[in-house]
Structure 1
Amino acid sequence: MLLNIRHTTVYAFEAPMRFVTQSHRLTPVSNGGQKVRSWSISAEGAEFGAAFTDGAGDRVTTMTVQGPVDRIEILVAGEVETADTTGVLRGHRELVSPVTYLQPTAATAPTGALAELVKKTVEAAHGTELSRAHRFSEVVSEAIAYVPGSTHAHTTAAEAVELGEGVCQDHAHALIAIAQAGGLPARYASGYLLADDEAAESDASHAWAEINIAGLGWVGFDPANACCPDERYVRLGSGRDAREAAPIRGVSRGGVGEALDVRVEIAQRQQ
């Protein structure tokens, strides 16, 4: 499948910033499930530093904008050829040991209602690591109803389980917590998803969890859509949680606040 992607992020500052520096995980890496045919990142007035591949095998670039600046628009555009690998992350080179992803973060800590769900789920799960991972994903799908706008960027997995509602970020965090409690390394993956096999526009990128399975390596699970990533997905990067895997992270100097607007448009092209 050929996917055309256009991802626009606009920052509007209440007062001009003296400078803005960002780290971007906005460039997909070619692997067994995706081949990057073309890709570009641009922003008027910005200087881009040298790109590098981090220990997790993800592409990272830096961007700096010297002020005064009251608005920044970052445009990502490209084309990726994808294939269905039944969720298995094939041909992705990385140096970080999977055991690194056994440690919870503040977002994935199994507390409150999540602790109860973790205990019940792990004790009841049997079979191979792969079958257990699938069951963990099913439990998360059942425990957290997908309701856009019901949570925010700083909502923890425990809070989403208590609420019973959330978005893909919450599903991924909860699945990570359960998998780790079951002894399986798990991490957060960010990227894009083509909805309904047609051109679609959304206000955010997508997220899912990856669980390390003996003999297979990293396998993706998307509880929000009750499936494993297939040819509709494009993977950007990973981390222990949403903060670490965020497509854009940065610091700025000056100003008192900002408004953020994100638009993602994905269309399938005929090969």
Structure 2
Amino acid sequence: MRIAIRHLSRYQYDQPVPYALQRLRLRPQSGPGQTVIDWRVTVDDVEPALSYTDGHGNRIDFVRHQRNTREIVIVAAGTVETVDRAGVYGMTDGIAPPWIFERETPLTQAGDAVKALAAQVSASAAQLQMLHELMQTIHERVAFEPGSTGVGTDAETALSEGHGVCQDHAHVLIAVARVLRVPARYVSGYLLIEGVDDQAASHAWAEAYLDGLGWVGFDAANNRCPDDRYVRIATGFDYRDAMPVSGIRIGQSAETLDVEITVQQTQTQSQSQSQGKI
């Protein structure tokens, strides 16, 4: 499947910002399940001058602003071709060994609710079956409610309160998996939704590492494993390692962020020619 994506982030400030640094995680990489056909990232219509790859294998653009700006517009857009691998990303990539993803982070720290859920699902002998059951249980217990949580909400809070967004579903699954000594990581990206081109936010899911399979994706928000409708952007221990934009700025100005995301299926040349025949 060929998917076209446009992700616009518009930062506006009530006072001029004399200096700001931003770290952008907005570049998908070709790998198992996806091939980047074309992709471009611009900041105020200019391509970033500095880019590097972090320890998780994410491609990072580093941007510095020094012009008393009141507005910053970031656009990431391009086309990615995907194939359905039934959620299996495969063996480890990058330099980080799988076992390092067993450690807790502030957003995935296990409290009573997470530990209780881990005890409930741990009776299953097969890890893959257990993780599918865990995904379904989280889907049932954590209602999808946009705006009910924030970027700082941790897994324990989302599970205890019973609502959240895809970020929270991913954190809960990661937290439970780590209690069970299963390496798990956070994945950010995009999801093609039938009949919905314009979206208010990007997507997130979790991956667990299983012997013999490698990394396997689990999207508890939708209760399914990632297929050819998913485009991955970045991975990490939790949201903070994979968030699309992070940074710092000097000054006391108030910030407003507007996000516009379009995710659409496009036709390949062969599909177009085929559909043009009668």
Name the TM-score, length of structure 2 as normaliser. 0.92
Q: CA deviation at 1:20?
A: 1.5
Distance 1:192 1:47 in 2: 22
Secondary structure, aligned partner of 2:169: helix
Shift of 1:83: 0.5
Aligned to 2:239: 242
Counterpart CA distance in 2 for 1:6 and 1:112 is 40
Q: Determine the C-alpha separation between the residues in 1 that align with 2:139 and 2:107.
A: 18
Q: How much has 1:119 moved relative to structure 2?
A: 2.7
SS at 1:175's partner residue?
Answer: helix
Please give the alpha-carbon distance, in whole angstroms, between the structure 1 residues aligned to 2:212 and 2:23.
33
- Contact 1:15 1:70 survives alignment (8 Å): yes
Deviations 1:214-253 (A, max 9, x none): 1111111000001011100000001111111111111111
Offset at residue 46 of structure 1 (A): 5.6
Which runs of at least 4 in structure 1 moved beyond 3 Å after TM superposition?
Answer: 90-93
Per the TM alignment, residue 19 of structure 1 is displaced from its structure 2 partner at its CA by 1.5
Contact kept in structure 1, 2:11 and 2:257, CA below 8 Å: yes
Note the alpha carbon deviations across 1:136-185, whole angstroms, 9 max, x for none: 21221121011222211111111111111111011000000111111100
Match of 1:204 in 2: 201
* 1:56-95 → structure 2 map (5 Å cutoff): 56-90=56-90, 93-95=93-95
- Name the stretch that deviates more: 145-154 or 73-82: 145-154
Question: How many pairs are equivalent?
Answer: 268
- Report the residue type matching 2:231 in the other structure: V
In the alignment, the residues of structure 1 paired with residue 78 and residue 199 of structure 2 have an alpha-carbon distance, to the nearest angstrom, of: 17
Equivalence for 1:217: 214
Larger Rg: 2
Aligned residue in 1 for 2:138: 140
What SS class does the counterpart of residue 3 from structure 1 fall into?
strand
Unaligned segments of structure 2, at least 5 residues: 269-278
The answer as to whether partners of 2:41 and 2:47 remain within 8 angstroms in 1 is no
Matched with 1:43 is: 43
Give 3-state SS (helix, strand or coil) of 2:67's partner.
Answer: strand
Cα pair 1:32 1:91 within 8 Å, conserved: no
Are the counterparts in 2 of residues 7 and 264 from structure 1 also a CA contact under 8 Å? yes
Separation in 2, partners of 1:263, 1:118: 37
Cα deviation, residue 92, structure 1:
7.0
Report if the CA contact (8 A) 2:90-2:216 is conserved.
Answer: no
Letter in 1 for 2:108: T
Amino acid at match of 1:131: Q
Q: C-alpha separation between the residues in 1 aligned to 2:216 and 2:86?
A: 8
Q: Is the 2:154–2:171 Cα contact (8 Å) retained in structure 1?
A: yes
| Amino acid paired to 1:254 | G
Q: Are 1:233 and 2:230 an aligned pair?
A: yes
- For residues 162 and 82 of structure 1, what CA distance do their matches in structure 2 show? 36
- Counterpart CA distance in 1 for 2:116 and 2:196 is 40
Q: Which of residues 254, 257, 261 in structure 2 aligns to 1:260?
A: 257
Bigger shift: 96-105 or 250-259?
A: 250-259
| Alpha-carbon shift at residue 55 of structure 1 (Å) | 2.5
How far 1:93 sits from its partner (Å)? 3.3
Residue 89 of structure 1 aligns to a residue in which SS?
strand
Counterpart contact for 1:45–1:65, Cα < 8 Å: no
* Deviation sequence 1:14-55 (CA, Å, 0-9, x none): 211111111111000001200000000112276723322223
**CA distance in structure 2 between the aligned counterparts of 1:67 and 1:255, rounded to whole angstroms:** 16
Unpaired stretches in structure 1, ≥5 consecutive residues: none
RMSD: 1.6
Q: Post-superposition shift, 1:91?
A: 7.6
CA distance in 2, matches of 1:201, 1:54: 30
Matched, 1:29 2:29: yes
